Amino acid sequence: MPGASERNTNCLRQHMTIFKLFKLHLTKKSTSLVLLWLFGAVAIGFSVVVPNMVGRLTNLFAAPGVKWVDVQWALIILMGAQVGVAALGYFRDSTRRQLKLHLDNNVSLQFFGHVLRLDAGFFRENEVARINERVLRESLSAVEFYLKGFVETPVQILTLLVVATLMIAEHPLLGACVVLLSLTQAYFALFDKRIQLIIRDMRQAADATQVQTSEVLGGVGELRKHGALDYGLKLIEGKLVESREVGTRLARLQSLFSAISPLLSSVQMVVLYGCGAILCLPGGALAGVAGPMTWGDVIKFMMLAGLFRGPVVFLAQYYLGWRLTRQVILRVDRYLEREAIFEDDKLGAVVDDAPRVVFDDVQVELPSKVRLLEDICLDIAPATHVALAGPAGCGKSTLLSLICREMSPSEGQVSLDGVDVEGHGPVSIARTVGFVTQKPVLFSGSIRDNLLLSLRRPSSKVLEDRSGPLDASALGGDMDGAALDERLLSVVRSVGFEADVLHKFLDRSLGDIGE
């Protein structure tokens, strides 16, 4: 059975979008999708029984000499249909929620798997908060939108077709009126450009607010030292005011929609009831053209019209939702379309235990045109000790980062044993090249888990512990969990915290470490 990392990366090697990622995991739950369609189709059948029984009961109440048994059976069928709709609604909602949880979990996990394998430049260009926003919130908004399209839209379209057929068969004139009046629900299209402008401004305002709050929170110490906390709060307030102004524009538009929709529904109801009343009146002009109707027929038809109106409103709102979600989807897709350069199964060339490291006319330039390294030529033979000396910010750490592929040269080449580092896989490099950063990174968990982080990588020889697989090929010989713990303890005791040992491999000052 493939491991988590294999499952998370295999499908993202080629061009990927959030829609393709959604479909990939939806197909794994195709049975649930078919059940949702089936439940929805059966629910349509129960739903159309209700107006038929209500219309029949209305006609029975108006007819002379009606027997109780006729009313009783109509009531039983009516109640049975309502129970059927409720039961199917429960099973359908439960199935849909389980499917949504499955999609949210797997899409988020695979999305994170893709992001973790992007180049280091991606993380310099994007703040952590923004990455989390894309992966944890915006991608799941897209999943919710697509799920609604796959689950609900086919059922709603089927409902439209079934109910429209029944209405036209019941009364062609009124049926045609309902279908034509339903087109007014497409009024959203008149506000399309305005909606897109508001969405763009909302995104820009949200990004600006996030940048400002991150800046203030990151510099709170400096603000406190100068007694400028109110100034920092004022900076945040300015961005929040801009966001509020854009939000007010959206709120006004939504309020307008909330007023238009019921107004249109009321107009439709008035027109239909008016036509129905005319058809029920003896000698009415419409009755001679379209045929007379009883009040029971009118009630039945109005309930069918209500069933028809539901899918029409759903489709109109789904179209509006698409316009609102489209920009979100485009932002998420920009992350997914970025090439993942650190694929676990693309090991590339194998690095020797003591490789020759060559920097050939290397230059590193940031997108801002700031040049960190220029014309670096260096040939480091195996078993050679090299010290990089210079003031802070001169590029020492940048040079080391090139070997580990934490950065890529703008020009020139860095090679290990004559092979460009870009041709070496991250796992292959990790087995040979060790790099201790200036700022230690600790993950939540035990000290043991943090010590063993360097062995949490794919390998043909694996040792399992409670936290997952370990690369046992680096341990030598057969070793179980207890033996590994003993070796860890021995290494820590041997190294200790003596500065003369740490100076040999730490890329940081030791002034803050006690004797």
Q: Could you give the angle at the alpha carbon of 302 between the alpha carbons of 296 and 304, nearest 5°? A: 105
SS3 content of the chain, % helix, strand, coil (to 5): 70, 5, 25
Q: Kindly report the number of other CB atoms within 10 A of residue 456's CB atom.
A: 15
Token code pair at residue 18: 């959030």
Q: What pLDDT does 261 receive?
A: 79
Residues 493 and 397 in one domain: yes
Handedness of CA 53, 55, 56, 62 (dihedral sign): positive
The torsion region of residue 496 among left (phi > 0), alpha (psi -120 to 50) and beta comes to: left
Q: For residue 181, give both structure tokens.
A: 């009046």
Query: Helices marked H in 337-469 — which ranges?
Result: 396-403, 426-432, 447-451
Mind giving me the DSSP string for 274-285? HHHHHHHSTT-H
Query: Mean of the per-residue pLDDT values for the chain?
Result: 81
Asked if residue 449 and residue 322 are part of one domain, the reply reads: no
Check pLDDT > 80 for residue 492: no
Q: Which residues pair with 379 in a beta bridge?
A: 358
| Per-residue confidence (pLDDT) for residue 267, from 0 to 100 | 82
In a domain? residue 138: yes
The SS3 of residue 341 is: coil
- Nearest partner of 107 among 12, 30, 37, 13, judged by Cα: 12
381 lies in some domain: yes
Residue 32 lies in a domain: yes
pLDDT digits (tens, 9 = 90+) for 304-350: 888 888 898 898 889 888 877 888 898 899 999 888 877 654 445 56
pLDDT the model gives residue 474: 67
| Count of CB atoms situated within 10 Å of the CB of 358 | 18
pLDDT tens, residue by residue, 134-171: 888 899 999 999 999 999 999 999 999 999 998 888 88
Which among 92-101, 261-270, 309-318 has the top mean pLDDT? 92-101
3-class SS at 119?
coil
Instruction: Tell me how far apart the alpha carbons of residues 495 and 506 are, in angstroms, rounded to a whole number.
Output: 13
Q: pLDDT (tens digit, 9 = 90+) per residue, 438-447? A: 777 777 777 7
Burial class of residue 244 in the structure, from the number of CB atoms within 10 Å of its CB (0-12 exposed, 13-18 middle, 19+ buried): exposed
Task: Please tell me whether residues 469 and 362 are part of one structural domain.
Answer: yes
Kindly tell me the burial class for residue 431, based on how many C-beta atoms sit within 10 Å of its own C-beta (0-12, 13-18, 19 or more). buried
Do both 361 and 324 map to the same domain?
A: no
User: Are 96 and 119 contained in the same domain?
Assistant: yes
What's 393's domain CATH number?
A: 3.40.50.300
pLDDT digits (tens, 9 = 90+) for 47-90: 999 888 888 888 888 777 777 777 888 889 989 999 999 999 99
Asked whether residue 112 falls in the same domain as residue 13, the answer is yes
Same-domain check for residues 314 and 400: no
**8 Å CB contact between 343 and 9:** yes
- Residue 391: inside a domain: yes
User: In terms of Cα–Cα distance, which of 360, 499, 474 is closest to 421?
Assistant: 360
Which residue range forms the structural domain that includes residue 458?
A: 357-502
Q: Is residue 290 part of a domain?
A: no
CA atoms in the 13 A half-sphere facing the CB of 421: 27
DSSP 421: G
- State whether 337 and 378 are in the same domain: no
Structural contact between residues 119 and 408, judged by C-beta atoms closer than 8 angstroms = yes
What pLDDT, on a 0 to 100 scale, did the predictor assign at position 436? 74
- Whether pLDDT at 189 is above 80: no
User: Do 336 and 465 share a structural domain?
Assistant: no
320 and 383: one domain? no
Q: What is the 3-state secondary structure (H, E, C) of 88-115?
A: HHHHHHHHHHHHHHHHHHHHHHHHHHHH
pTM reported for the whole predicted model: 0.72
Look at residue 158 and tell me if it is in a domain. yes
Say which residue, 52 or 483, is predicted with more confidence.
Answer: 52
Domain for residue 467, yes or no? yes
Cα distance between residue 451 and residue 485, in whole Å: 10
Please tell me the total count of domains within the chain: 2
Using alpha carbons only, give the angle 46, 51, 53 rounded to the nearest 5 degrees: 85
| DSSP helix/strand/coil, 21 | helix
Cβ count near 362 (within 10 Å): 21
Do 333 and 468 reside in the same domain of the chain? no
Taking 60 as the threshold, does the pLDDT of residue 490 lie above it?
yes
Asked whether residue 337 falls in the same domain as residue 477, the answer is no
Burial of 12 (0-12, 13-18, 19+ CB in 10 A): buried
In a domain, 165, yes or no: yes
